[in-house]
Structure 1
Amino acid sequence: MKTKAFRAALPYTLPICVGFLFLGMSYGFLMRSQGFSFVYPMLMSLFIFAGSMEFVTANLLLMPTFQPLHAFLLTLMVNARHLFYGLSMLDKFQNLGWKKPYLIFGLCDETFSIHCAVPPPEGVDRGWFMFFVTVLNQLYWVAGATLGALLGYLIHFNTTGIEFVMTALFVVMFLNQWEERKDHRPALIGVGCTLLCLLVLGSDHFLLPAMGLIILCFLWLRRRSPQEVSP
């Protein structure tokens, strides 16, 4: 059962492996360039496993004084989208026993996409399939971050702007979704609400209001045309 689920999950995660190795190495290089041992990105990618927040944490660790409340609120804003991911996964995670806590912890953007778009193949246990998708994706990230930090001992270059790789990843995912779907209303709503909140509230406070406004627009649109809209 486990072997069959692993073999079924592996092909779906290989494209993510390429991206995660590159992004993870970028993160590892960044941490090493700021003077951290390779142990830091290795353990942070293992226990935090939130790519955007890990890049931000590099700066938090360099602050003169640690501010727990600031770190908590910043983490909430950066990863607030996972609140909505989690709500949509409640049914899929039911009755999975000990796997459920780890599946919740390891729910990154790419894993969420596979869980939503790829049903387990016939004859493959759903829980084990989702488990291996999640654990493989995290292993790719941990390996990339660790390898990047280790190479940082040998290779030295200007890492200014390297954190932009996360933004680039989301842009690529957006373009891929745009090309695959005929209905572009959800994408336009997301872009429009985000730009509106950014202009009104500024770059430091726009994220949570933008996501709330997007959800409200989706709910309104779904009530008007429930059979046509798939955010």
Structure 2
Amino acid sequence: MEINPAVASQSGQLKWINLRSSADPGVSAKNNESSTSGSSRFEEILGGTEADKVPSRVSSSGIGLLWQRVGAVSAGAISGEMTDSAINGAAHTAAEPTEYDDLIQAASSKYGVPVDLIKAVIDTESSFNPNVVSSAGAKGLMQLMDGTAEGLGVSDPFNPAQSIDGGVRYLSYQLKRFNGQENMALAAYNAGPGRVLKLGVSTDEEMFGQLDKLPEETQAYIAKIERARAKYAV
């Protein structure tokens, strides 16, 4: 049975916001920093502070053409190699509305994450295939690892409503943690906040100056998100 994210319980969200650890694995990357599972793993994942503020509208840094700027990434990674999930997913035509638009809009309104960013993440993670499983074990539209899904209250990561609500909720935590810096949040979504925090940067621009310190998969991931997002911009 599908769960409507618009009426999902808020208690879980409030419970996790106060957690303070920073050694956080990412959601879907093969280079996750921790192999623990369940609620204890998710306590490591969130690790924000109560002082973090939810951006009312997340704006891009205006850097643009990121895939032309990431010199540290191999040409193959930037030129369009797809993740396991994207290879297995069905091709999506940008001009068409997705069949999950209502769920995406509901999650966007609920967590304050732009619709085009959500669609770009789903496109990059799974090509809108709700049944995909990556070689690392990430599942569903937003490629949630089991421990992350459990902590987010997602009992069925293949359920589109649960996957979108949980994935967008997790992304919103990273946006809060990094003060609305979208590319830092995306790097955290992929590789884990701990890796981003270790860079000691506070803006996307500063992160790009140290991009070679992030895994190549994450460097390519950020570029793929930007390319995909251009398709869904209003």
Scaled by the length of structure 2, what TM-score is found? 0.29
The structure with more radius of gyration? 1
| Larger proportion of helix | 1
